[in-house]
């Protein structure tokens, strides 16, 4: 597996690849993960029996591996790392960005082995929607086509991604939905975690945004919405956990406000405690920027903890939250509508057991990990025959 991000980092890619590696190992495969070394490394949750080889890379000031130079620092040495792998793999799994997929395509050709591309999103479309220069979008789309068209199989995280990657040259596509570790994210919090992480908010009601905050999420909308409800709920606090290009701006806006807390990255075990104790979890995707089909795993993490979701955005998350009664969906992407959704959730009785049961039935990571493993093992079997 070639991936810039892996456990113990708290991100959708890390969660799904951790589940995939465990499922592959459980099926008897020998698994090696070539990834990056995160700051403050804690290997206590590394999957048993999986060989994980971490290399140093460039990271941004928040410790997150995001940005073209950061990607290059992982991708440039990747070919040599793959070529040096012994014994030769039967199949390689490539995680975005597309530059990693392109390196894997070239390397797999040299090794004479197939690869599976795990398409979590469509990077060139997202780049175009954010107003990147036309030349950059064209170049990224060409790299993405190259990575997708060479894959023996492509795993797409939802039907929207599947339809788009087919247009970009992917041939054999299997949809495997993202899932969540329901043993880690549960209403009581992980067994090893207590209340200490909550500090002064141990007994205070709060809303939590937990995860990446970049231009695609537009997580600052919740600051604006909070300003509209704070007088109605004088004890309510707003907590941000995570990293991303917008988090510094959010922290600057919140500076000096004793009821807004920007706490930075937290390990999954601590994030689970925060989500389990929250009155509501906040999730957003800015409409019309190429990510409407996205399904952030922070939705599933919160629901698995029995915490309802306030969602600002459109697409499959909005359909599930509204259709299954998993929280409230803002009528539009503006502060007033988001504030109304917050009021809606806070006015309802908490139905934690029902929310958790929905995740267990539909989006358990153990199930989705096994589904992805079957795709990879099928390619490996054909490779060995």
Tens digit of pLDDT for each residue in 132-168?
899 999 999 999 999 999 999 999 998 989 999 999 9
Residue 233 maps to a domain: yes
Residues 133 and 241 in one domain: no
Q: Are residues 202 and 115 in the same domain?
A: no
Q: Could you read off the pLDDT of 300-310 as tens digits, one per residue? A: 999 999 999 99
186 belongs to a structural domain: no
In a domain, 5, yes or no: no
> In the chain, which ranges are continuous DSSP H helix?
12-26, 68-83, 98-111, 123-129, 134-149, 159-167, 221-229, 247-254, 268-277, 297-304, 316-323, 335-347, 352-362, 365-384
For residue 292, what pLDDT is reported?
85
Q: Both 147 and 217 in a single domain?
A: no
Whole-angstrom distance, CA of residue 381 vs CA of residue 54: 27
Q: Mean pLDDT across the stretch 91-120? A: 97
Q: Pseudo-torsion of CA 32, 37, 39, 41, nearest 10°?
A: 30
Q: Are residues 290 and 276 in the same domain?
A: yes
Could you give the CA distance from residue 11 to residue 5 in angstroms, rounded to a whole number?
A: 8
The verdict on 57 and 145 lying in the same domain is yes
Q: Judge if 78 and 213 occupy the same domain.
A: no
Closest CA to 92 of 2, 7, 22: 2
Distance (Å, rounded) from C-alpha 376 to C-alpha 197?
38
- Domain identity same for 145 and 223: no
Residue 262: which residues within 8 A CB-CB, separation 6 or more? 240, 247, 250, 251, 254
Q: How many domains does the chain have?
A: 2
Considering the domain architecture, whether residues 278 and 204 belong to the same structural domain is answered as yes
The separation between the first and the last C-alpha atoms of the chain, rounded to the nearest angstrom, is 21
What integer is the mean pLDDT of 251-270? Answer: 91
User: Is there a contact between 89 and 108 (Cβ–Cβ < 8 Å)?
Assistant: no
Closest of 286, 294, 297 to residue 332, by C-alpha: 286
Asked if residue 118 belongs to a domain, the reply is yes
CA–CA distance, 298 with 11 (Å, rounded to integer):
9
Q: What is the pLDDT of residue 366?
A: 87
Residue 218 in domain: yes
Specify the pLDDT at position 167: 96
Q: Is the pLDDT score of 189 beyond 70?
A: no
Same domain (yes/no): 148, 266? no
**Between 216 and 66, residue with greater pLDDT:** 216
Check pLDDT > 60 for residue 193. no
Residue 120 lies in a domain: yes
Residue 99 belongs to domain spanning: 12-179+364-384
**The domain spanning residue 142 has which CATH number?**
3.40.50.2000
Q: 309 has which bridge partners?
A: 281, 327
Whether residue 216 contacts residue 126, with contact meaning beta carbons closer than 8 Å, is answered with yes
CA distances 385 to 124, 349, 379, Å, are 36, 57, 10
Shared-domain flag, residues 124 and 230? no
Contacts of residue 278, Cβ cutoff 8 Å, sequence gap at least 6: 206, 207, 208, 239, 302, 307
Shared domain check, 219 and 351: yes
What's the pLDDT score for residue 383?
84
What's the pLDDT tens digit per position in 90-101?
Answer: 999 999 999 999
DSSP per-residue codes, 72-115: HHHHHHHHHHHHT-SSPPS-EEEPSSHHHHHHHHHHHHHHT--E
Domain check: are 251 and 151 in the same one?
no
């Amino acid at each position: 597996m070639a991936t810039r991000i892996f456990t113990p980092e708290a991100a959708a890619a890390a969660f799904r690849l951790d589940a995939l590696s465990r499922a592959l190992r459980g099926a008897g495969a020998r698994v090696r993960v070539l990834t990056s070394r995160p700051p403050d490394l804690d290997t206590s949750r590394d999957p048993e029996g999986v060989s994980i080889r971490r290399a140093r890379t460039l990271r941004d000031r928040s410790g997150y591996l995001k940005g073209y130079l950061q990607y290059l620092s992982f991708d440039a040495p990747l070919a040599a790392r793959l070529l040096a792998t012994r014994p030769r793999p039967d199949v390689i799994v490539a995680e975005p960005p597309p530059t990693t997929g392109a390196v894997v395509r070239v390397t797999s050709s040299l090794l004479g082995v197939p690869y599976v591309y795990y398409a979590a999103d469509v990077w060139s479309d997202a780049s175009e929607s954010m107003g990147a220069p036309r030349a950059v979008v064209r170049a990224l789309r060409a790299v993405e086509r190259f990575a997708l068209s060479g894959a023996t199989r492509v795993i797409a995280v939802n039907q929207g991604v599947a339809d788009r990657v087919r247009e970009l040259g992917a041939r054999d596509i299997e949809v495997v939905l993202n899932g969540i570790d329901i043993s880690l994210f549960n209403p009581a919090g992980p067994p090893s975690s207590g209340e200490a992480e909550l500090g002064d908010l141990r007994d205070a009601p709060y809303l939590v945004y937990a995860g990446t905050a970049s231009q695609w999420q537009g997580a600052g909308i919740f600051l604006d919405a909070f300003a509209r409800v704070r007088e109605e709920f004088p004890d309510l606090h707003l907590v941000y956990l995570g990293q991303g290009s917008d988090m510094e701006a959010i922290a600057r806006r919140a500076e000096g406000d004793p009821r807004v807390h920007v706490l930075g990255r937290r390990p999954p075990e601590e994030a689970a405690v925060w989500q389990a104790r929250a009155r509501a979890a906040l999730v957003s995707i800015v409409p019309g920027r190429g990510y409407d089909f996205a399904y952030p795993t922070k939705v599933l993490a919160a629901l698995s903890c029995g915490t309802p979701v306030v969602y600002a955005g459109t697409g499959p998350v909005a359909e599930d939250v509204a259709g299954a009664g998993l929280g409230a969906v803002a009528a539009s992407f503006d502060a007033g509508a988001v504030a109304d959704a917050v009021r809606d959730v806070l006015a309802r009785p908490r139905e934690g057991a029902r929310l958790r049961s929905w995740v267990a039935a539909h989006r358990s990571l153990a199930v989705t990990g096994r589904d992805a493993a079957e795709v990879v093992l099928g390619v490996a079997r054909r490779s060995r025959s």
